[in-house]
Structure 1
C-alpha cells in the first residue's frame, strides 16, 4: 500500500497493545503499509482472539506496561521511529471491579511508555490513544471538543483522562523543544468491527448470545454513542502519525476521531439496523441494577476534518454490514476476512478521493 504518503514503508514501528481488538487491526494495516512492526503487549485475553487469527508473524514481546524496566528494555532494543501506544485496560465495567489495575495500567503504564521513549533517541513520534470517555461528561446535546474539560465518573474514564494529563505533561516538559519527539493523543468513539470478543460490549455480546440461540441482554437501550468501524479510527491514528513523522509540530496535540452526525445513535437503533445484515435478533432489557455509565456522549471532530483533512469512509450502516459479514465468515469457515475488508476500505476511501488514500 502507498497510502499515507508512504510514511510507514520501511519504518520501524513499536505498537503497544497489538494483541487487543484495535491493536491487532492496526498491526495488520501497518504491516500492509510496509512497516517493520514490533508488538509489546500481554497475551490476548479472549478466546478466540483476532490477533491469533491474523497470524502476522511479526516480532512481539509479552510485556506488562506496568513493568517499567521491561518496557524500557524493549523500547531501547527495538529503537522505533514511531510508537503507537494502545495498550490499556479498556472496559468500563471491569474498571469498577478492579480499579487499581485500571489506574496502574492506563496512567502509570502510559507514563512508563513515554518515559522509555524519552530515553530512546530513535523515537521521533508518538501517538497515544485514549478514548472519547476522557471528557467530563455533562450529557450535552453537542459533541465534545479537544479543549473541553477532562474528567470521568468511572475508573476507566477517569484513568484515560489521567493518561491525557500524563501525555500533556510529557509534551510540555520533555518534548517541547525544537527537533524533539512529537507526541499527539487520539480520542475515538465506540468502535465496531470483526474480531472483537471483549466482555460487556454490544456486538461481542450479540455474537455470543446468537451462537447460543439466546436473547441478548441490553443494559441501556437508549444510551447514545458515536459508533464507527474500527478502521475509521485507525485511519485517523495513521494520518496523525504521518504528520508527526513529517516533522509537523502543529499536530502534536489532542485529536478527536468520531463519526458524522448519523453515527451518533442509541443502542436500540444500532440493534435495529443490525437486523438488516444479521437477520432476526432477540434482545431484552435487564432489570438488574447497573453501575453508572453516561447516557449521552458525542464527539466533535471538526478539528481533524479541517486541519488533518480526515474524513470517515464507511457510514454506520456500512460499518455494521461489514462487521456482520466478518462474523458470518468466521462462523461459517473459521476464517478472518480482515485483509479483504481492509482492502475494501482503502478502495472505498480512494473512490471518495480521501487524501490519505490517494
Structure 2
C-alpha cells in the first residue's frame, strides 16, 4: 500500500483519481480548499462518490458542511485535508504528519478567460502554490510527483500535432503562462533536489463529474433548459477532447512509470490524437440530448487557441498509454450522467 497525496483531490479529475487509487488498495491524502469557483457542494458530492460514501449533502452552510465532511467519510485509507496550497504552513503540516510517498499535484486555478481577468490570482495559486508543494516535498523527503500541466502551453503554433519537443515560448493567456512556469520550476527542483517528475499536459478533459463551468457541461445545461448558446468564432476551432477514463489511465500509467524509474524529468501529452470542431461538439450534444441548439455567434475571445491536437507517441512509449473512449460514446455517457446527477 502506497500513500499518495492528491492536491485538488475533490475536483473533477482528482476525485476520479482518488477513487481509483483507493480501489487499488492504496491510501490517499486529499488536499482541497473547496473554493467558490463553483458550488462547493459539487466537490463534496465528488468526495462522497470517490470514497463510496452514500450520505447525501444538500445543506447550505459551507463551514458547517466542511467541518462535518471528514467525519462522515469514515475510511482509514482516505484523509481529507481542507486547506489552500497558498498556505505554506498548512502544506508543511500535512507533509510533516503524513507518510506521503508520491504527490499528484492537480490543484490549480483553471480556465483561460478568467485568467485574463485576474492574472495575479492565477500566479498566486498556480505558481506560488506549486512552489509550496515542491518546498514541502523537498523538506520532508518526498521525491516523486506528477504535476498537471495543460495543452494551453502550446499557444497558437501551426505545427500539428503538438509534440513535447515543440518550443513553448508563445503562450497567449496568463493561465498557460502559469502552467509553463510550473514545468520550468519542476525541472529546477528535479535538477537541484532529485525530485523525479512527470509533467502531464492534459488536452480538454471531459466526462462524468466535469466542472459546471466547462464548455460541454455548460452547453448541455443550456440545451436542457432551452437557453441560447453563445459560441465564439465561426465554429471551426478544434479541440482534442479527452475522456476522463483515458486521463485516469494515463495518470495511473505515469504513476507506475515514475515509481519504477530514477532521476527522471519528463513532459508528456495526454490526449487522443483526434480533434473535434466546436460545431461538431454542439451537433453531437444535440443528437444525444434530443434538443436543437439556439446559437448566438460572437467574435473570437482573447486567449483562446485555434486548435489543440496531441501527439501521444511519447505517452505510448513510456507507459503504454492507449485512449479508448470514442468522442460519440463519451458524450452519450456524459448526457446520461448529467441527467442522473442534475440535482447537483
TM-score (norm 1): 0.82
- 1:88 aligns to 2:81 (yes or no): no
Residues 44-66 of structure 1: per-residue CA shift (max 9 Å, x gap): 53225154244122311122112
Q: How far apart, in 2, do the equivalents of 1:250 and 1:298 lie?
A: 29
Structure 2 residue runs of 5 or longer lacking an equivalent are 52-72
Structure 1 residue runs of 5 or longer lacking an equivalent are 1-9, 176-180, 336-358
Q: How far apart, in 2, do the equivalents of 1:105 and 1:53 lie?
A: 22
1:33 pairs, out of 24, 27, 50, with 24
Q: How does 1:82-161 map to 2 (within 5 A)?
A: 82-121=102-141, 123-140=142-159, 142-151=160-169, 152-161=171-180
TM-score (norm 2): 0.85
**Runs of 4+ more than 4 Å apart:** none
Q: How does 1:219-258 map to 2 (within 5 A)?
A: 219-220=232-233, 221-246=235-260, 248-249=261-262, 252-258=265-271
Q: How does 1:1-358 map to 2 (within 5 A)?
A: 10-45=1-36, 46-47=38-39, 48-55=41-48, 56=51, 57=73, 58-121=78-141, 123-140=142-159, 142-151=160-169, 152-175=171-194, 181-199=195-213, 201-220=214-233, 221-246=235-260, 248-249=261-262, 252-261=265-274, 264-287=275-298, 290-331=301-342, 334=343
Using the TM superposition, give the Cα deviation of residue 290 of structure 1 relative to its aligned residue in structure 2, in angstroms. 3.0
Q: How far apart, in 2, do the equivalents of 1:163 and 1:277 lie?
A: 38
Residues 221-273 of structure 1: per-residue CA shift (max 9 Å, x gap): 22111101112112111111112122x13753111111033xx1111111112
In angstroms, what is the RMSD of aligned CA positions?
1.9
Residues 37-93 of structure 1: per-residue CA shift (max 9 Å, x gap): 111121153225154244122311122112222112112212211110000001111
* Structure 2 CA distance for partners of 1:167 and 1:53, relative to 1, 3 Å: closer
* Structure 2 CA distance for partners of 1:325 and 1:50, relative to 1, 3 Å: farther
Q: How far apart, in 2, do the equivalents of 1:100 and 1:163 lie?
A: 15
Partners of 2:223 and 2:291 within 8 A in 1 = no
